[in-house]
Structure 1
Amino acid sequence: MRLLAGVLLTALAAGCAADTAGAARAAERFTAALAAGQAEVACGLLARKTAEKLPGPGQSCAAALRELRLRAGGPVTEVSVWGDEAQVRLEDDTLFLRHFGDGWRVVAAGCVPVRDLPYECEVES
């Protein structure tokens, strides 16, 4: 019985392994698109609610991203994943992502820590 319980726990742990690589790749694609001036591509990597909230009246998501002039981010320095939520720290930025059926999507970008408070982000849902 103990062996079966050990096998089940091992299988569950393997099935629940954090997808840090997928979150990191999504963050890198987002910041690379911004660095390359491909705001339309970057908008396609945002979560739907984030992309919808970003533009001002009569403005597209891409135009809003261009106007914000987000930092390029730099290389990934740390990734933390909790279930379907992730925080990806880059050299010059912090992004928050959520895993949807089609993969990791950016839900917040341009984030800086605020002492004793949550992050303050330029782009968020």
Structure 2
Amino acid sequence: MHPYRRNTAIVTLGLTAALTCAGCDRAGDDTDVRRAALSFLEAAQRHDGAAACAALAPKARSGLESGGDECAKEIVGRGLRTGAVTGVQVWGERAQVRLAGDTVFLARFPGGWKVTAAACESRPKGPYDCQVEA
């Protein structure tokens, strides 16, 4: 075998293995992200403010407490609801879960995925408009 072809074959095999492995990790991330978003929304919907707040990133949680109310009281008053998941996207340490009528953003923390923004609606120009955000 010509040295150039042998090196090309080795590089091709290495890239194929790397892409396959990256795809495997992403599938796990999709499931974990979906689970974290749904768990947060379901807790808020059943008025379990403590569980919903535990699913929030620290800045999002403190953003709800800025008005003097506790996070648990504030989050259940937002009228958050769950729905069918229509899409999940993961970009390294950040993610987005689109649901029927809602969008949730998450970030990966040492303890798992946490919600950074929720009850988000896209706007024609500019960032999403979110009821809960960091």
| Cα RMSD (Å) | 1.5
TM-score (norm 2): 0.83
Give the 3-state SS of the residue equivalent to 2:17 in structure 1: helix
87, 95, 119: which is aligned to 1:86?
95
* Structure 1: tracts of 5 or more residues without a match: none
| Residue of structure 1 in register with 2:12 after alignment | 6
CA contact (8 A) 1:56 1:64 kept: no
Q: Distance in 2 between matches of 1:110 and 1:39?
A: 15
3-state SS in 2 of match to 1:115:
coil
Is 1:31 matched with 2:37? no
Structure 1 residues 29-70: Cα deviation after superposition (integer angstroms, max 9, x where no partner): 111111211111010001111111211343211111122222
Q: Is the 1:47–1:106 contact (alpha carbons within 8 Å) kept by the matching residues of 2? A: yes
The alignment's TM-score, normalised by the length of structure 1, stands at: 0.89
Equivalent of residue 113 in structure 1, options 117, 122, 127: 122
2:33 touches 2:113 (CA, 8 Å); kept in 1? Answer: yes
Percent of aligned positions with the same letter in both sequences? Answer: 38
Structure 1 residues 13 and 115, CA gap change in structure 2 (3 angstroms): same
When you count helix as a share of all residues, which structure comes out higher?
2
Residue in structure 2 matched with residue 55 of structure 1 by the alignment? 65
Query: Who is 2:75 aligned against?
Result: 65
Q: Which has the larger radius of gyration?
A: 2
Q: Cα offset for 1:6? A: 2.4
Q: Tell me how far apart the structure 2 counterparts of residues 14 and 41 of structure 1 sit (CA, whole Å).
A: 36
- Provide structure 2 residue ranges, at least 5 long, that are not aligned to the other structure: 1-6
Aligned positions, number:
124
Aligned equivalents of 2:64, 2:17: Cα separation in 1? 41
Counterpart CA distance in 1 for 2:109 and 2:21 is 17
> Residue in 1 aligned with 2:51?
41
Q: Which amino acid aligns with 2:100?
A: E
